[in-house]
Structure 1
């Protein structure tokens, strides 16, 4: 019997391994962030009402992404740990069960999209135009979300085996298709009807399904994960292991839905321009945060594999490389938001009122970027080692304990300009909590580890 060949995640020098694993993901996420910005730019040029409607709809879309990303992170962590322990059968079971869970999740969101889209949008406003546009956008994104679920799971399966090139191709292809379709369907070019936000939603789900076709093709070609019919049959222990990391990640992401919903509710009390500015900021900050999340994604399988293989020095080396990269990216992002907010806002056809609100908002929010970058890197350690609940505690604290109360109190008693300081306050507090968890994990699980 031939010995199992060592995966590159267990032997390749850490700096080049982390960068080679992360860079393709970071690049594809940059393309995705660029799509988010371009998409919002097209929508904003259609009308400010359209941009506001999409911003109000975003929390529900974020919940959809939360479940898909959370499940896929659980699959990625479990699969890489099993590969590190040379348990190939269990690794393949993790991949197959993840795909089955993604189909079940899609069915749930399709039901929500069919029957509750209008109810959700009506929570924020009684403006008929906003309700109509928001409902159209949400319902299409939810009902036709199967492509998103399958795509994200397949990408994480590939990443869990150390393949980050094909996920980059998959995600970049979808984003490029989306960018090309947006102006055609939103503004009605080349003989197509002018569909506004409905066109933006159609472009999104169509591109997701293009990505899915590519994703399935590459998974079928992967030599380490050969899926059989038995792999798709749900197994209690496998599902439990997936969601041990997946559920905390879902909660972390889903809390973002609660946060954005609540902030939109607070901001709309000041003006629709404040809501639109928040929507613009959210798209722009993704261009800074997405590469760091890509770094996080690239680090998780490296950490998981070496945790399974009992190689503590490679785990700590991975964290050090991640910190250097994340702090550099976030430092650049802070400088851009501090020095050029008016230029960034002008891309979205911002009104003078939006520029006045947005300049203050972007400068004050960006004060916490570097702290956020460090936290994201350390969270990769928790997720890669299977301690997803620590990430969940951190996320709940950051958004619901620190950010939301601070935003409410500052907005109510000081004013809109002061409200934006709540983001810096929450990032600093979250950073402190993350360091505490890291020291605890390092002392009890990494420092005492023997190969």
Structure 2
């Protein structure tokens, strides 16, 4: 008797309960990991160090974009090869992944090490904030390969359907980073750079663990020999699927660049630190919700293939409600005790009421996030890659950039927070309207019930 739920027939709430927890825990671990450096730096070094590292968000997103490109493309190719029993393709996935990871790492590491000062200065930091950012970014850049390869290889484990195993390796890395970061900062007297070197060390162990998983024969597919090679038979497929993830990530780089540049232009070092703390909290809440939505893509894909249009819509509604509920649960302490939560990252900083109100404003807009995300997942699962790529990119260029520039010009620093809240809600509404339009092409009744 199988422990896997029947995606075509089981109650959808049962499917969500069975498939979502490993995804939530895995994504939560990643979210916690992103907060570790901030909390330690804010408490052990100071607010300027926290602000300097916060400015690096757009630069680190470029690394995330490269990782997403490799992981999404390779995972998609592997999943289909496993389903088709195509051993020849299965054996090409890891050599191709290694080659892409080395290629992207070489390019990004070279650029990062050669232009550290200019890249960090471009983000708008000055004085101690700039120096802290440069110190952290140089060390972080040295370990780019471990981040790109480790996370991409772990994505192959998820592509096998072994979400729990993938989560376990992630958890080991997060706990290791949690334990070693204060040692690198204080005991080893590395200061700001110590936080980065701790992350590099943890990701190095993470990469070794995932490699050991494949080399030790624990995977369910034929890995072939561990070698570095661009495989012409699959590279076009990897690029085709990975481009969607890459374009979405890069559009977020544009978003974060504008945000942090505007905060630096209109505010002080304190404002940069506060916005950085708010941004990390936003990520902390949204990432687990995205983990809950991970199983939605196969649920929609399988039912779409079986012409079960209404079940696709029911799945969207089920997972959407679950994600909204999780977001509200995580938001509750932030909305009620914002000052206490923020002080965990930037202790000793005096917060005024308008800052706390801005924080509440952007978080109260967060329940709209699953509305937009479930629509994009539907487009990806049903093979509408062009639509799934175009919408997020157009969001940044047509909706976000003009709105944040206009409102910041009118209201200064407060306008940035107003723009974030309005833009999140407007984007969700646009995606929902496009979702209804696509569903009407398949089944008029399903489209009408897409609310």
Same fold by TM-score, threshold 0.5 exceeded?
Answer: yes
Q: Distance in 2 between matches of 1:441 and 1:96?
A: 38
The match for 1:337 is 334
Displacement of 1:423: 1.2
1:44 aligns with 2:42: yes
Alpha-carbon contact 1:53-1:133 (below 8 Å) kept: yes
Q: Specify the alignment match of 2:406 in structure 1.
A: 409
Matched, 1:292 2:289: yes
Q: 2:254 aligns with which of 231, 251, 258?
A: 258
Q: Any stretches of 5+ residues in structure 2 without a counterpart? A: 446-451
Over the aligned positions, Cα root-mean-square deviation in angstroms equals: 3.1
Provide the C-alpha distance between the structure 2 equivalents of 1:104 and 1:89, rounded to a whole number of angstroms.
Answer: 23
Distance 1:400 1:330 in 2: 27
Is residue 24 from structure 1 mapped to residue 35 from structure 2 by the alignment?
no
Change (3 A) 1:357 1:119: farther
Q: Show the counterpart of 1:209.
A: 204
Structure 1 contact 375–430 (Cα < 8 Å) conserved: yes
Partners of 2:424 and 2:371 in 1: how far apart? Answer: 10
Match in the other structure for 1:142: 141
Contact 1:10 1:309 in 2 (8 A): no
Aligned residue in 2 for 1:433? 430
Unmatched segments (≥5 aa) in structure 1: none
Which of 197, 202, 210 matches 2:192? 197
- CA distance in structure 2 between the partners assigned to 1:73 and 1:306 by the alignment: 21
Q: What does 1:367-386 correspond to in 2, within 5 Å?
A: 367-386=364-383
| Cα distance in structure 1, aligned partners of 2:159 and 2:440 | 26
CA deviations 1:56-90 (Å, max 9, x no partner) are 12211111011102321222333334444555544
CA 1:419–1:126 in 2, change beyond 3 Å: closer, same or farther?
closer
The structural deviation recorded for 1:372 is 0.9
Confirm or deny: 8 A CA contact 1:166 1:218 kept in the other structure: no
- Secondary structure at the aligned position of 1:319 is classed as helix
CA distance in structure 1 between the partners assigned to 2:54 and 2:200 by the alignment = 18
1:165 and 2:161 are equivalent in the alignment: no
Query: Could you tell me how far 1:353 is from its partner in structure 2?
Result: 4.5
Q: 1:126 to 1:424 in 2, by over 3 A?
A: closer
Question: Once the two structures are superposed, what CA deviation does each residue of 1:179-231 show, in whole Å capped at 9, x if it has no partner?
Answer: 1111111222xxx2x22210000011111111111112223434432122499
Q: Deviations over 1:392-448 (max 9, x none)?
A: 323223333222322221121123223311112111221122223323443446899
> TM-score, normalization: structure 2?
0.87
In 1, are the aligned partners of 2:30 and 2:174 still within 8 Å (CA)?
A: yes
Q: Is the 8 A contact 1:25 1:164 kept in 2?
A: yes
Q: Is the 8 A contact 2:339 2:351 kept in 1?
A: no
2: CA distance between counterparts of 1:379 and 1:94?
Answer: 26
Q: Is the 8 A contact 1:80 1:301 kept in 2?
A: no
For 1:112-169, what per-residue CA distance to the aligned partner results, in whole angstroms no more than 9, with x for missing partners?
Answer: 1221111101224473433332122112222211111122112221111211011100
Q: Secondary structure at the match of 2:365?
A: helix
| Structure-to-structure mapping, 1:70-109, within 5 angstroms | 70-85=69-84, 87=86, 89-109=88-108
Distance in 2 separating the partners of 1:371 and 1:87 = 41
Judging changes above 3 Å, is the alpha-carbon distance between structure 1 residues 150 and 427 closer, same or farther for their aligned structure 2 residues?
Answer: same
**Equivalence for 1:181:** 180
Task: State the 1:369 CA deviation.
Answer: 0.7
Task: Find the aligned partners of 2:147 and 2:6 in 1 and give their Cα distance.
Answer: 27
Q: 1:40 & 1:391 partners in 2: Cα distance?
A: 32
